[in-house]
Amino acid sequence: MSERLGPNLMEFPLQFLLRPEKGPSSLLLIRLPVGLIFLTQGILKYIDPKMGVERFARIGFPHPYFTAHFVGSFEMVCGGLVLLGLWTRLASLPLLIVICTAIATTKLPELSRPAQGVWFMISDARTDFAMLCGLLFLMVEGGGAWSLDARKNSGSSRQGDDKQGEFAA
């Protein structure tokens, strides 16, 4: 089947996730807050029970100790990768799952609580919504010129040019 689809179609998802085109350096202004917020929230899930295990138990997650640390690990690792701009698009995927789960489990239930409603939920969800938009933006644009992705890709493209020159000679 892959022969009919061609090698380019099969390689596109990996190329998209792991080797984004070089974007503007201003993408650092999106990567910085998104990466730092996820990194610090992941650390807090380990060092502050109120932000980790107790919160996950209150929300109703099964096995809150495991779940809090599992999510915290993804937030630290993927948040750090986003911060560095390494595999930015790939690292954004688990963080999108985390933020969508956070919105679904902590913000949407506010709509049905007495004395809260839609305006309370909108106000309470503003950071989550900003993080969701930031992650979607990074999925589309990648890490930018000031990222390890860009450095890695500029080095590999130069090596690729050298190899093409060898074969052409």
pLDDT tens across 145-164, in order? 999 988 887 766 544 444 44
CA 100 to chain centroid, in Å, comes to: 11
Which one, of 74, 84, 81, lies nearest residue 42 by Cα? 74
Per-residue pLDDT tens digits for 108-140: 998 888 888 888 889 999 999 999 999 999 999
User: Distance between CA 90 and CA 154 in Å, rounded?
Assistant: 19
Q: What is the mean pLDDT of the chain?
A: 86
- What is the crossing angle of helices 126-141 and 117-124, to 10°? 50
For the whole model, what pTM was predicted? 0.81
User: Distance between CA 115 and CA 133 in Å, rounded?
Assistant: 28
Per-residue pLDDT tens digits for 73-108: 999 999 999 999 999 999 999 999 999 999 999 999
Which one, of 125, 85, 91, 95, lies nearest residue 107 by Cα? 125
